[in-house]
Structure 1
């Protein structure tokens, strides 16, 4: 599994026949399917294929001349022409396969090596080439080690690379048919519906929620009393997400919600890691725990939604926008869909932010000179007052600290997609059904872009580094049209919480190695992160 995407066997590519109703016919360079395209008007034949029409049918060679796109024109019965084209994999000299990794075990390939140590696996093969191929349990896998190849998948041809079936199965079990699991037009409609809730003007209005939550957390801290940073930040960020996205206060249910979220995320991880899990109706102890936890989460979200409806007035947060869409859109969200979207953002929005905050505090505790530099900046700009969103541009070192923390511990530690049709990427041929995968954990440790890649050096970002390196050399939240919708909100919250907390305390970390991290759906601490607060 790679960050909401699994390196799992994909269904074998099959020949498909589809009908497109359009006035033009864009042709892929390669494919493994048969398709029928319809066009109208005097230029229909010229736009869709070079063949000339005659009575009955016309056999042609496709838009690029003789080759793999030979097909047949047919009448549609209403004046339109259909061009049925049998397309095959491009076998020309230019359609080359990428270098291959050592074969590994028969059929299994590198699957066991990856499962034993996913982060180390990507690091070991990061310098083998821009694109390299292998197999996991019989499935063809391309590992992407270049920014250009990743940009092709996430931006230039992102519609051809959806999330695979294994990923959808695991995520749908938890968040249903939400933004994370949808694709194509359904995803586009949901994204457009939810995007206004993350507009910078609304984020500015919600900045105070993050500062208030940080102050409430500080009120429970005692100097010299050690705490585990990750669960504490989980509770803090849950307050922030509930307030900014839903206008609700869930502090009373924080512990219960934390346990429920942990249970459902463990179950999702199990589904990722198990090629053939038992059906959901089998009453195993794990299934019972998962269903009980999911019922708890549904009950909380349903209560929040019902309370908003009783209060009247949609509000300007995510829940308000979804309720407005439910009332006004031609295809309204059902109550279940509304709940799925709220649950999606509640789970994803606070877990990644909590991990980033906990690890940022640990990094600063282990690098007291960086923490001291940041506290000096806070003293100069804020002078002891609470930070606001308007202050953030005046806190460049705080931003550098957060960027460096996310470089070392990216929430989206790795990603994968599956090619729907044949494609070309970075000069190599990608057959349909191939899983393409990459790891931000490895990309962010490329010494060409980040000298001393394992060192925590916030100052490396001081001179516009992000503008000088390739676009996807640094991408802690993914990128392209499916960039994490809450990335801007998470960055705002992390900086505001750090700016609030570090004016009150500095932190000491226990001696020893760095915290172990778990490359699950997102990157998270595997064990505790004990910190001790000291008054400043």
Structure 2
């Protein structure tokens, strides 16, 4: 049996607290029961699920009974019908077409690109320099996505593209948090600005698709060519609009989640000297000063544990929302059509039920078969079920390679008295960036060229 609870008092106040401080709210609610009723919106109930088995019931056992939550419904205006926002048969078809493109044999070819672009970024670093590492990781992840997805570095106004993504991310989360919809005349100016930004981004992406279609016999190994060549069982291919939607989804999700995970990992390493020393020792032993390759990834065991622990404490996807499409029973509780269920990786990953000293940064907890000792959905940084993140292996490989290249050359030391705190937008960022001093590790590492 699962425990249930309902927050006492004025439910609108609970939703306001959820809106204003979601991480604090979700962590507190996690201790109250396996399924907690936190309020109502538009006559429909809002629940938070705090038991891994209930998360599994929603994501794995009953996925067709739900659609994406409000935030991603709103994001669909910007992202279109990509894997992140599409539903039903559309999502199943796209997933079927794209899955082979993320097989290990494809993404393995990107490892060299990831390493070389990271090395090129380091050419701009100077010993003792203070840098916004979150910004650097974001720029690097964008650079890698541009190369692996489009086959070249985008020469258009990259800063403007970054601002468009940032603007739409913040606008999306603001709309999702709103308890009431703004009147159309008040929202018109923001909507017009968003549409103008989207038109600019579409112009760039559609031009890339058209250029590639004009050279079908070109030898390209990037994701754009893979998507153009993907064929359904009946021989049909994706339309330009479908490819556009996938590219913009991968572009945004593919760089933001990696950049955030990297920034949080550098922060955690800077605060824990023992972990940092173990990280360096592994890099020196496995790589000995050379660039990492795809074949090195399985050997970087402690590096993988660092990433897993970073994603436990600060998962880029910090919460999943689902809205019931039909009446369904979850954990013995009747869920009505229109009810919303929230499941928080951030709160679940910090549960005392599944993690000893959950607030402690301890990469070694992921040694050996630890994940087999806890319920499957006590740890779910990439979601789960048929909608599990399709790029999870790409992201893990990219993160490991970047850590290895940078870690062989530099120690990253947190600068000043900046308070580091998470900012829960579409992904979990470091609020205000991350200022760090970059210090050369020693002369031996300078052999990496």
TM-score (norm 2): 0.92
Q: 5 Å matches for 1:493-512?
A: 493-512=398-417
Q: How much does 1:525 deviate? A: 1.7
Q: How much does 1:195 deviate? A: 1.1
> Aligned Cα RMSD in Å?
2.3
Q: How much does 1:169 deviate? A: 3.8
Counterpart residue number, 1:420: 325
Moved more, 120-129 or 321-330: 321-330
1:327–1:429 CA distance, 2 compared to 1 (3 A): closer
1:361–1:168 CA distance, 2 compared to 1 (3 A): closer
1:97–1:379 CA distance, 2 compared to 1 (3 A): closer
SS of 2:67's equivalent in the other structure is: coil
- Structure 1 residues not aligned, in runs of 5+: 1-95
Distance in 1, matches of 2:40 and 2:130, equals: 43
Structure 1 residue corresponding to 2:122, chosen from 194, 201, 218: 218
Q: How much does 1:168 deviate? A: 4.7
1:445–1:511 CA distance, 2 compared to 1 (3 A): farther
1:465–1:233 CA distance, 2 compared to 1 (3 A): same
Distance in 2, matches of 1:267 and 1:313, equals: 41
Counterpart residue number, 1:19: none
Distance in 1, matches of 2:234 and 2:221, equals: 17
Distance in 2, matches of 1:534 and 1:196, equals: 41
- 1:308 and 2:212 matched: yes
Distance in 2, matches of 1:433 and 1:151, equals: 20
Q: How much does 1:176 deviate? A: 1.3
Counterpart residue number, 1:104: 9
Counterpart residue number, 1:51: none
- 1:403 and 2:403 matched: no
- 1:317 and 2:260 matched: no
Q: How much does 1:327 deviate? A: 10
Q: Deviations over 1:348-396 (max 9, x none)?
A: 1101111111111111112122112111110011110000110011111
SS of 1:384's equivalent in the other structure is: coil
Distance in 2, matches of 1:449 and 1:100, equals: 21
- Is the Cα contact below 8 Å between 1:109 and 1:136 reproduced in 2? no
Q: 5 Å matches for 1:382-397?
A: 382-397=287-302
Counterpart residue number, 2:425: 520
- Is the Cα contact below 8 Å between 2:209 and 2:240 reproduced in 1? no
1:408–1:168 CA distance, 2 compared to 1 (3 A): closer
SS of 1:449's equivalent in the other structure is: coil
- Is the Cα contact below 8 Å between 1:226 and 1:532 reproduced in 2? yes
Q: 5 Å matches for 1:396-475?
A: 396-475=301-380
Q: How much does 1:331 deviate? A: 5.3
Distance in 1, matches of 2:428 and 2:90, equals: 28
- Is the Cα contact below 8 Å between 1:419 and 1:432 reproduced in 2? yes
Q: How much does 1:493 deviate? A: 0.3
- 1:479 and 2:395 matched: no
Distance in 1, matches of 2:289 and 2:203, equals: 41
Distance in 2, matches of 1:322 and 1:234, equals: 24
Q: How much does 1:514 deviate? A: 5.1
Q: How much does 1:119 deviate? A: 0.6
Distance in 1, matches of 2:337 and 2:191, equals: 34
Structure 2 residue corresponding to 1:379, chosen from 255, 265, 284: 284
Moved more, 492-501 or 134-143: 134-143
- Is the Cα contact below 8 Å between 1:400 and 1:459 reproduced in 2? yes
Q: 5 Å matches for 1:206-355?
A: 206-250=110-154, 253-274=157-178, 275-279=180-184, 283-284=188-189, 286-313=190-217, 315-325=220-230, 332-355=237-260
Q: How much does 1:449 deviate? A: 1.8
- Structure 2 residues not aligned, in runs of 5+: 442-449
- Is the Cα contact below 8 Å between 1:173 and 1:268 reproduced in 2? no
How many positions carry a matched residue from both structures?
438
Q: How much does 1:246 deviate? A: 2.7
Counterpart residue number, 1:170: 74
Distance in 2, matches of 1:362 and 1:259, equals: 24
Distance in 2, matches of 1:278 and 1:226, equals: 45
- 1:179 and 2:83 matched: yes
SS of 1:386's equivalent in the other structure is: coil
1:278–1:239 CA distance, 2 compared to 1 (3 A): farther
* Structure with higher RCO (Cα < 8 A, 6+ apart): 2
Distance in 2, matches of 1:219 and 1:329, equals: 49
Distance in 2, matches of 1:447 and 1:159, equals: 31
TM-score (norm 1): 0.77
Distance in 1, matches of 2:100 and 2:378, equals: 28
Distance in 1, matches of 2:163 and 2:247, equals: 18
